[in-house]
Structure 1
Amino acid sequence: MKNRTFRARPAVHALSILSLAVSVSVQAQTIEINPVVITGARIEQPLSQALTSVSVITRQEIEKSQSPTLADLLQGEAGFEFGRNGGPGTTTSFFLRGQNSINAVVLIDGVRSQVDSLGSLQVLDVPLSQIERIELLRGNASALYGDAAIGGVISITTRHGKGTPAAYGSVSYGSRNSVDASVGYGGKSEDYRFNVQAGIKKTDGFSAINTQQQPTANPDRDGYSGEFMSARVEKMLSPDATVGVRWLGDRSTAETDNAWASSPLDIQEFKKRNNTLGVFWRQAFTSDWVSQLDVSTSSLTYEDIENGKRLSSYGLFEGRQNLGRWFNTWQAGTDTAVTFGADVTRDNFKVDQGNAYDMKRDATGIFAGVTQKLGALTIQMNVRHDDVRVENREPGMPNSSNRSDADTGLLGLSYAITPAWSVTGTVSNGFRAPTASEVSKNPQLRPETHQSSEIGTSYAIDNLLARVVYFDTNTKDAIVYKRLQGWDYTYESVGRVSNRGLEATLRSNWRGYTIKASVVSQDPMNEVTQKSMERRAKNYGSLDISRSLGLYEAGARLYASGERPDSLRTLAGYSLWSFYASRKIDDNWTARLRLENAFDKQYQLAYGYNTPGRGLFATLQYSPK
């Protein structure tokens, strides 16, 4: 396998060529250096004043990157790594701050998204055309968001209607016969604000499994096809009250390979359907107190298909989630912000393993927080209580159940040494209750408990925001998989996991260039085996540089990762170069071009699975101003 280290020279040459292609006056499309964020304390605050570690990706940055998936977009953000078993739609694992994939929470418009019975996130393929903004909170946030928010939180805001109602859309075509198209209509009319959107995505793909490492797998291309629709309507009842409804729906088919297939000619597919319907009400009781109530229901179905037939064992999974959330913010003076509320989640799962069995998981949480400014000192305090109950009902077997409750807290301090320079520190604890599938194997499991601390410094001026953070995390009673006889297995609360390291991030507009960079050095460790956590690198980072020249914009992006252990093997370190460019045709139309994996690097995110090679993609975007 080829292995490249950081080499900047090809990108410099490419950027020079692209920059010389035009010679018009500079009107840079800069990034917002110090945007307002919400996720870090559940209140609005400038990014430079957030005590927790937060990154922001705006709609402008999403369009500029031309990333194909959410995972590819987030790759390179500090604290984020991922593994994927093949191409789009296949099993993808998100690792935040070195934690397991199920130790993360994804919010869609502030509402916790659905997981399956294993606790796996099910919104990882959300179309980027639906997203207006992403905030990535790194590190333990259980005191704010409850169970499983140990690694962090990915908060996604979908596109809202704004301005005069108008249509918008884009279409992309490129390597591997890849098509990505979406169209929408949204805006504001009198007391209504609305947005509707639909889209498709498909690709012929590449062979998911490396047949040199797994010779029994089918060497054919593994494609992907998906469709989505979404709608959101809000009605302003008065200057202080708004009600609304939102719906998201998608379905997809992802071809994949099976390393244990009985024949190399076998064809495997995953079919998935997601639907979420929610209503919300937002009321400003006073100029200082704003309350919001969300109620939603979502369903998830996926099927495991082999040679056109659903597998008889574990071939069908169905899940339903009903959720309610009451959230309040109270501005108690200019220097004090208070948050409080409650949320309730009811999950039901049905798994067909020959004999269908049902699982139920109920979670209730209450929380409160305060952020107080005292001159140059800022204090953030959050507390939360959660109660999680799991019940398993399997035909011919006695019912099994498990209950976990936990009190979590976060204390953070920030001191502004100068108007530009500040130091921060936080300590917190967190937990993850056993998932429904884990309890079905061992009802005696204990919740994972987590301790975390951070200390950092940030520097913010008009054209630059830099932050360096040292973090130290420890998890006890980590729930681990244990193989029994044959194919049988169980789970045990015996694991201990730690991770400590440094993160550095930078956002800057410098002499006409837009720069984003991050570097992470960490040591994610299984303390029981004294081995590094699988698929996590000890060092990784990214650099994204772009420049606007009149109607043109061009940029280059480097992502580099060190070696990672996986399945008693080592995945080699790698670096990926991507280049992108765009041209404004007029006020409404933009043409874009992206060259991904420009030097056709061979690398793996999971042992035995391939990744895409060099690809060229063109996009035509219509976005009226």
Structure 2
Amino acid sequence: MQASSPRATLRAVARASATALVALPALSILATSAFAQSSLDPVVVIGTREPQALSKSVADIVLIDRDTLRDSGAASVEEVLRRYAGLQILQNGGPGQTAGYLLRGTNTNSTVVMIDGLRIGSATLGQAAFEALSLDQIERIEVLRGPASGLYGSDAVGGVIQIFTKRGQGPLNITSGVAVGEYDSRKADFALSGAQAGFDYAASIGRETSDGVSSIRPNDRSGYYNPDRDGFRRTAATARLGFTPADGHRIGISASQNKLNAQYDSANFGGPPDYLSDPTPDFRNRLTTRVVSADYRGTLSPIWTTTVQVTHGIDDSRAGAPDPLPFKTTRDQATWQNALRLAPDQQLLLAYERLSEKADGVVTDTLKRHNDAYIAGYTGQFGATSLQGNLRRDESSAYGGFTTGSLGASYALTEALKVRALAGTSFRGPTFNDLYYPFYGRDNIQPERGRSIELGVNWRSGATSASATVYRNKVRDLIVYNPDPNGTDCPAGYFGCAGNIGHATLKGATLTGAHRLGNWNFAANVDFLDAKNDETGARLIRRAAHQESVSVDYDTGVWSAGASVTDIGKRPDAAGNLGGYALLDLRATWRFLPQWRLEAKVLNAADRDVEPVYSYQGLGRQAWIGVRYDMKGF
């Protein structure tokens, strides 16, 4: 499908970028997350794999902190990432349905997702199941926007998302909440955390259910529509325990489990000659993810800090009807990382990482592969100049060796204004499904390779901050679904298959900022994207040319009220154009006691008709009301 107006899109990107670079103060009403709401400089890990002040980062990083997560009123991890980090979200229906995520226009499986340092997700699909995660178990989220294979290896073509679960500190604290909403929706959570006598501990459990709506629209051309309601049940639990035998040394273990049981619409098909569809069975996606981890971090000398982590993750899925097909993937990861302080403002990072993956399923034989990675990174501060360089070598048993890297720098023109530049290479190895899935996979699929460059500027003064980033990412052999309408590319009997696009270009601009005025907070994220197949000139499907999110909140300390608007532009899909839409979410809280607050929200308050993917539908207006307790007070 040809782009409707690629020149117009590029002109819009250029105009937006020029405006941001010349007139940054005008962006004071725009924001990503709440990073400007504190006078302290937040610390992030994702940009260098070691703690670093966010203001010194060369990369484009978004921090979504605990307060932002708590007060956002968002219904899911996907919505938080869309609103505050600019990800475009694809979902096969409403909450609980399979969700995809596009960071800077790359495919869902072209972004690395981690929890507490461990890669998560299915090794067959190559993506994380955000629909199985609960916001209640998350302490903060860090998002690195832009290719990062030089630090994180395969799949970091679009960037990296790292989720951190809660860790205990200080006296015992207990938090809990319950809420009810339309579509027979209910949720409850309970958590405790603290530290004493060298031990720190944290545990949480949450449960959410909803009856939802039919995930498919009536009269869909695939014959999947079933008028029943497609609801879900989700249970999430985490536990972390740490021991500090001496200052600068900590030993920790953690475990988490997420269980999802979600109904969805599909069909079983009869034989020739009619191949009639039967959508009446109760199709369900039963997904269980488990992660167990042990780690040690110690300061061995004033210049040497070492980290060792061993993790085991399971992604166990049973989907379909009446006899669901099982797929189970296992990921075992071991990391040894060393940070060497060459000088007070210079650091050398050396790390080794081994990742072993295994996939079991009734339609494929047991598949195994492993990857060994050797990582070197350097960060340095020289007055107003910051430098960062990364180099990584991956050796895969499945697709050979790749060397990737990045080089970046920033320069502080004034105390408030900083400019930065970053260039790098990336790659993504094909998933097990890309290679071997029956009637889809092809064993000649090549890994993706990318080359990127980005320029950015950051401005911060008091309670106001803003930034602008322009980027260009050239990807070779982009792995996509090939519908093969002419029947020339896929093997006989395939209804489409995995394929490589020779060259694709992903370019765009992101404008962000933050402003606080008295009790008022303003927040937004504006993204322009031009993603196309260079060989045909067609826009890549399901990518919106623009997406904006704006939030306004007013907080007196006793009560607060806020609103968010997210606008998604038109998107091409395989079967036709998807119309743009805007979502209005409203929220309010009342702190009627220091430890208690009443919460209310209305999602999609304008009751817009949402078609996130062709033939699928999201929820209409949904009101929630609940109460939350925090022993330490809000």
TM-score normalised over the length of structure 1: 0.89
Q: Does 1:319 align with 2:302?
A: no
Per-residue deviation, 1:286: 1.4
Per-residue deviation, 1:438: 2.2
SS at match of 1:445: coil
Q: Structure 2 matches for 1:314-463, cutoff 5 A?
A: 315-353=325-363, 356-390=364-398, 403-440=399-436, 441-463=441-463
Pick one of 536, 539, 545 that aligns with 1:532: 539
Pick one of 282, 285, 291 that aligns with 2:306: 291
Q: Structure 2 matches for 1:161-560, cutoff 5 A?
A: 161-214=168-221, 216-258=224-266, 262-306=277-321, 309-311=322-324, 315-353=325-363, 356-390=364-398, 403-440=399-436, 441-482=441-482, 483-487=490-494, 490-560=497-567
Per-residue deviation, 1:111: 2.0
- Structure-2 residue corresponding to 1:398: none
SS at match of 1:600: coil
Matched AA of 1:296:
T
Please identify, of 503-512 and 95-104, the stretch whose mean Cα deviation from structure 2 is larger: 503-512
Per-residue deviation, 1:123: 4.6
Change (3 A) 1:110 1:216: closer
SS at match of 2:211: strand
SS at match of 1:604: coil
What is the rounded CA distance, in whole Å, between the counterparts of 1:238 and 1:29 in structure 2?
Answer: 32
- Whether the 8 Å contact between 1:134 and 1:156 is mirrored in structure 2 is yes
Q: Does 1:87 align with 2:102?
A: no
- Structure-2 residue corresponding to 1:17: none
Per-residue deviation, 1:78: 4.3
- Whether the 8 Å contact between 2:610 and 2:618 is mirrored in structure 1 is yes
Matched AA of 1:324:
A
- Whether the 8 Å contact between 2:86 and 2:526 is mirrored in structure 1 is no
What is the rounded CA distance, in whole Å, between the counterparts of 1:79 and 1:141 in structure 2?
Answer: 17
Change (3 A) 1:66 1:78: closer
Residue deviations 1:526-583 (CA, integer Å, cap 9, x gap): 2233211111111111111101113011111010011001113111011111111111
Please identify, of 555-564 and 369-378, the stretch whose mean Cα deviation from structure 2 is larger: 369-378
- Structure-1 residue corresponding to 2:37: 31
What is the rounded CA distance, in whole Å, between the counterparts of 1:524 and 1:108 in structure 2?
Answer: 29
Please identify, of 226-235 and 490-499, the stretch whose mean Cα deviation from structure 2 is larger: 490-499
- Structure-2 residue corresponding to 1:585: 592
Per-residue deviation, 1:176: 0.7
Q: Does 1:138 align with 2:148?
A: no
- Structure-2 residue corresponding to 1:562: 569
Q: Unpaired segments of 5 or more residues in structure 1?
A: 1-27, 391-402
What is the rounded CA distance, in whole Å, between the counterparts of 1:258 and 1:431 in structure 2?
Answer: 34
Per-residue deviation, 1:508: 2.1
What is the rounded CA distance, in whole Å, between the counterparts of 2:455 and 2:113 in structure 1?
Answer: 25
Change (3 A) 1:580 1:212: same
Residue deviations 1:290-342 (CA, integer Å, cap 9, x gap): 11111011112111231xx324xxx1101111111112222222221222211
Please identify, of 143-152 and 177-186, the stretch whose mean Cα deviation from structure 2 is larger: 177-186
Q: Unpaired segments of 5 or more residues in structure 2?
A: 1-33, 270-276, 483-489
- Whether the 8 Å contact between 2:123 and 2:358 is mirrored in structure 1 is no
Change (3 A) 1:582 1:29: farther
Identity %: 27
- Whether the 8 Å contact between 1:85 and 1:92 is mirrored in structure 2 is yes
Per-residue deviation, 1:494: 4.2
Matched AA of 1:31:
Q
- Whether the 8 Å contact between 1:310 and 1:316 is mirrored in structure 2 is no
Change (3 A) 1:259 1:474: farther
Matched AA of 2:339:
T
SS at match of 1:499: strand
Per-residue deviation, 1:37: 2.0
Residue deviations 1:332-371 (CA, integer Å, cap 9, x gap): 2222122221111111001212xx4111121111111111
What is the rounded CA distance, in whole Å, between the counterparts of 2:117 and 2:351 in structure 1?
Answer: 13
Per-residue deviation, 1:416: 0.8
SS at match of 1:73: helix
Q: How many aligned positions are there?
A: 579
What is the rounded CA distance, in whole Å, between the counterparts of 2:476 and 2:279 in structure 1?
Answer: 42
SS at match of 1:327: strand
What is the rounded CA distance, in whole Å, between the counterparts of 1:124 and 1:152 in structure 2?
Answer: 20
SS at match of 1:162: coil
- Whether the 8 Å contact between 1:361 and 1:436 is mirrored in structure 2 is no
Change (3 A) 1:281 1:341: same
Per-residue deviation, 1:124: 4.6
Residue deviations 1:397-426 (CA, integer Å, cap 9, x gap): xxxxxx221111111011111111111101
Residue deviations 1:476-495 (CA, integer Å, cap 9, x gap): 02223344433365434443
- Whether the 8 Å contact between 1:295 and 1:324 is mirrored in structure 2 is yes
Per-residue deviation, 1:437: 2.4
Change (3 A) 1:602 1:562: same
SS at match of 2:435: helix
Residue deviations 1:239-268 (CA, integer Å, cap 9, x gap): 132111100012111000016663343221
What is the rounded CA distance, in whole Å, between the counterparts of 1:455 and 1:319 in structure 2?
Answer: 38
What is the rounded CA distance, in whole Å, between the counterparts of 1:571 and 1:123 in structure 2?
Answer: 23
TM-score normalised over the length of structure 2: 0.88
Matched AA of 2:250:
T
Change (3 A) 1:82 1:260: farther
